[in-house]
Each structure stands twice: as structure tokens, then as C-alpha cells.
Amino acid sequence: MLEELKQAVYKANMELPKKNLVKYTWGNVSGIDRNKGLFVIKPSGIDYSLLKPEDLVVVDLEGNQVEGKYCPSSDTATHLELYKAFSKIGAIVHTHSLWATIWAQAGRSIPCYGTTQADCFYGEIPCTRELTAEEIEKNYEKNTGLVIVETFRKKNPLYLPGVLCISHGPFAWGKDPAEAVYNSVVIEQCAKMAYHTEALNHNIIQINQILLDKHFLRKHGENAYYGQI
């Protein structure tokens, strides 16, 4: 079932340690087949060195396991809420990558200081609010997804393809698993760059809006012209 999607999700999962985004089992990738209403996700707690495509788990949009010998990722309920709320995304990545997690633990959004971030994110990468005690104690993973959705009530998830969960770490998404991993790499790189930028210049302000518009929209806008047509 969903063999082609499994291969794409497997390949994306295997990119995470290669890109130095995960240690041990601290991450997961999923991808969705919108026509079938099913998504494929990494199983919980399986080391990347042991992971095989056939180990991936298929889940429906009610959260039911449809296929797989292992339990799905403990973050499955978070992925589910994002797929339900963001109808145009095709894949999700969660990691505890070093620099992005530092910003998440600090409870700070990542400001957009330059064109590297502006090429992929239309402004700062937001950080969620803290979950309440009740949200943590009951349906924690689902509520993690819901607080991300809440953070994006007035934001376009296609223009800001990632978020920091406070005290936790980054989630990113894209049209497919490869793009979701790409956006995860961008978040990590921008987190590192922003940290050092602030260390060098305590009075730094975010990128000029005109320059932000130019860099983001030339790649993602209606009249985009970056790359080969």
C-alpha cells in the first residue's frame, strides 16, 4: 500500500541524520496521499540505521493505523492535526535540530535578518505559545498540533513552511517529503545565522520589507522568476 509514497518518506527520513538534523531517534517524516486520505509516517523509536521502507506505518485521517507492524511515531497526532488544518501541504518533518531547538527553548521566533531566510520564509519563523497544564496532561501530541494551527490563524503556512514549538523543537512542511526536509534544513541554518547575527550586532533589526518581498516573491510569488522555467 502506498509503495511510492513510502519510498519518498523513507528517503526523506534517511536525509535527517545525513543533514545532521537528528540524533538517535529524535525525529520523523511523514507524507500524505490526499486522494486516499492516508499518510505514511516513521515508526516510533526505530533507529535510523535499522529503518527500512517496509517499516513505515500507514495512518488514516481519523488517526487509525491502517498498515504496519510497528506503532507509528509518538508525534502522529501532531502530524494529523496539521494535515487536517493545512490542506495544501504534502509532508511534515519534526526534528530536535540543535540551533532551531535552542530558539524553541528560549521561546523566541527566529527573526528574518537576511535574504537566506527570505528566500524560503516570508518573515520570521514563529514560535508557539506554551501549552497549558491541561493541554499537556491530556492529548499532548494532538494539542501540540492544535497550538501550531492556532499560531497560523493569521499566517499562510505555504509562505511560512515551519514553526518552533516552545520548549520542544521545530516542525516543517512542504509539498512533498523532500521539500519538507529542505525547509527543515533552512530553519536550522537560519537559526544558527540569527544567533550569531545578534551576537555581532545587538541592535540588529529585521530585513527591510522591500528586500524581503523581492527575495521571497521572486521564488514563490505569482510572477516568480527564480530558477529555470
Which amino acid is present at 29?
V
Active site residue 75: no
Average pLDDT in the chain: 97
- Largest separation between any pair of C-alpha atoms in the chain: 54
* CATH numbers and ranges of domains, the chain: 3-220 (3.40.225.10)
Global confidence as pTM:
0.96
Q: What was the pLDDT predicted at 82?
A: 98
Task: Find the catalytic residue in 33, 119, 159, 213.
Answer: 119
Assign 57 a pLDDT band (cuts: 50, 70, 90): very high
Give the contacts of 210 (CB within 8 A, at least 6 positions apart).
Answer: none
Active site residue 226: yes
pLDDT digits (tens, 9 = 90+) for 176-218: 999 999 999 999 999 999 999 999 999 999 999 999 999 999 9
Q: What was the pLDDT predicted at 228?
A: 83
What are the angstrom distances between the C-alpha of 46 and each of 57, 71, 93?
Answer: 12, 10, 16
